[in-house]
């Protein structure tokens, strides 16, 4: 496969980041569970979200992609008529495993080679302890579950993935009895659970929370039309481009949305970038000098690679911490980020829960390995803006997982690639 090479350039202009992947996944699933007709407006159309569409189709939903919308219609979900293949979508794997536990027949979920390395043990243990028969490849996919849930409490270790928690919370109102989802350990990425419960409420289901116990009475989801907001995780890439090499405006943003990754705005301010917010537009501009910072990444793990790039040439010492779960993403993102930035001349050392960065004046070029991880690939491309030489990598178009049109949008603001 040929390489793609990024040669820096400038970062000046306006872009429209894609819709939220997290919201799109949940909207498609909740629409199918609502047993009616729903329209999901402004969805992210990507490999991952199409995997979720295919998963709910297997459970009886009719999913039709329209112009900037997805129509979902389902009379009643049923046991999937085939093995669910989530491709490379960890969100689909985890959310649909909880939904699959509602059936009294076996459901098997699998995915590509990357998915088959990702942990499912805590979720499967929680379901097993509540009466669901579970099997897996030593705690990793493929997994098979056979319900129903017979207990009244689901206990889950929240320190590995908030998606485990969201999976149980989404399915618990349909278990046929009052259910508690009790979280143990240190809960990571809590804002994603806020997204889940907020969206559940939009679809007519209420859960209460006290001391990390989420309680749901038996309820039914109701069909609605839902519009997906723009994605702060994706907006981080053009915003950082503006912060290190110019001035970039992202459009279609909602600062009141519970997305945890809106914290990228606070991070950019903290290191010295100029931020202007006007209605649904956010502009990030370079001020000449960026300062090192200590940043807790526990609730914003998806921002880790691009924040590491942001700080690689910031003055002084920086520390990213609080996110040991980064070891279990599409790749070991701590190790891969460290390797990528060291290849480009950064002074970075990985830690158990993040990294230490001592800012250098400039990066240099090189060929990096992104291992098919979309966020690594996009972060490396942005690094070319502060590099004295070109940065090349395998051109597998992995950015389409979360940011279709990424290279075209970056070219529109002045980034050069071939």
Active site residues: 302
Give me the residues paired with residue 180 across strands.
153, 215
Q: Do the beta carbons of residue 44 and residue 405 sit within 8 Å?
A: no
CB atoms near residue 116 (< 10 Å): 16
Q: Which parts of 305-410 are beta strand (E)?
A: 317-321, 347-350, 355-358, 366-367, 391-394
Integer Cα distance of 298 and 159 in angstroms? 10
Integer Cα distance of 311 and 299 in angstroms? 18
List, as one string, the DSSP characters of 104-124.
SS-EEEE--TTGGGS--HHHH
Integer Cα distance of 189 and 353 in angstroms? 14
Integer Cα distance of 23 and 395 in angstroms? 28
Q: CB burial class (10 A; 0-12, 13-18, 19+) of residue 15?
A: buried
Q: How far apart are the first and last CA of the chain?
A: 14
How many Å separate Cα 387 from the centre of its chain? 27
As given in the structure block, the two tokens for residue 411 are: 């070219």
Which residue do the tokens 């989420």 mark? 214
Cβ-based neighbours of 417, under 8 Å, separated by 6 or more: 4, 5, 6, 7, 381, 384, 407, 410, 411
Integer Cα distance of 40 and 24 in angstroms? 8
Q: Do the beta carbons of residue 233 and residue 48 sit within 8 Å?
A: no
């Amino acid at each position: 496969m040929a390489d793609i090479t990024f040669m820096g350039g400038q970062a000046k202009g306006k872009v429209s980041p894609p819709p939220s992947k997290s919201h799109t996944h949940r909207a498609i699933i909740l629409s199918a569970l609502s047993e009616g007709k729903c329209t999901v407006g402004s969805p992210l159309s990507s490999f991952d979200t199409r995997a979720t569409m295919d998963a709910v189709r297997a459970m009886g939903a009719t999913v039709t992609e329209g112009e900037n919308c997805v129509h979902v219609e389902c009379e009643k979900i049923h046991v999937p008529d085939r093995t669910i293949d989530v491709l490379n979508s960890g969100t689909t794997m985890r959310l649909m495993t909880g939904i699959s536990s509602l059936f009294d027949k076996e459901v098997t979920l699998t995915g590509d080679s990357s998915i088959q390395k990702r942990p499912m043990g805590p979720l499967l243990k929680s379901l097993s302890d509540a009466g669901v028969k579970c099997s897996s490849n030593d705690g990793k996919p493929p997994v098979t579950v056979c319900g129903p849930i017979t207990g009244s409490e689901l206990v889950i270790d929240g320190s590995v993935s908030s998606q485990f928690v969201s999976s149980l919370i989404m399915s618990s109102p349909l278990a046929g009895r009052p259910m508690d989802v009790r979280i143990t350990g240190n809960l990571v990425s809590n804002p994603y659970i806020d997204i889940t419960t907020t969206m559940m409420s939009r679809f007519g289901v209420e859960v209460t929370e006290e001391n990390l116990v989420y309680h749901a009475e038996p309820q039914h989801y109701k069909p609605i039309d839902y519009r997906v907001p723009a994605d702060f995780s994706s907006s981080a890439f053009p915003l950082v481009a503006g912060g290190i090499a110019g001035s970039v405006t992202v459009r279609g943003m909602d600062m009141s949305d519970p997305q945890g990754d809106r914290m990228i705005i606070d991070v950019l301010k903290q290191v010295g970038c100029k931020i202007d917010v006007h209605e649904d537009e956010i502009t990030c501009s370079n001020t000449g000098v960026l300062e090192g910072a200590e940043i807790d990444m526990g609730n914003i793990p998806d921002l880790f690679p691009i924040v590491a790039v942001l700080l690689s040439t910031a003055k002084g010492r920086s520390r990213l911490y609080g996110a040991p779960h980064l070891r279990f993403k599409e790749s070991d993102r701590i190790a891969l980020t460290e390797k990528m930035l060291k290849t480009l001349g950064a002074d970075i050392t990985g830690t158990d829960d993040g990294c230490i960065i001592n800012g250098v004046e400039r990066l240099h070029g090189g060929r990096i390995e992104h291992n098919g991880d979309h966020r690594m690939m996009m972060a490396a491309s942005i690094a070319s803006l502060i590099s004295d030489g070109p940065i090349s990598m395998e051109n597998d178009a992995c950015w389409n997982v979360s940011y279709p049109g990424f290279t075209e949008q970056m070219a529109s603001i002045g980034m050069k690639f071939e």
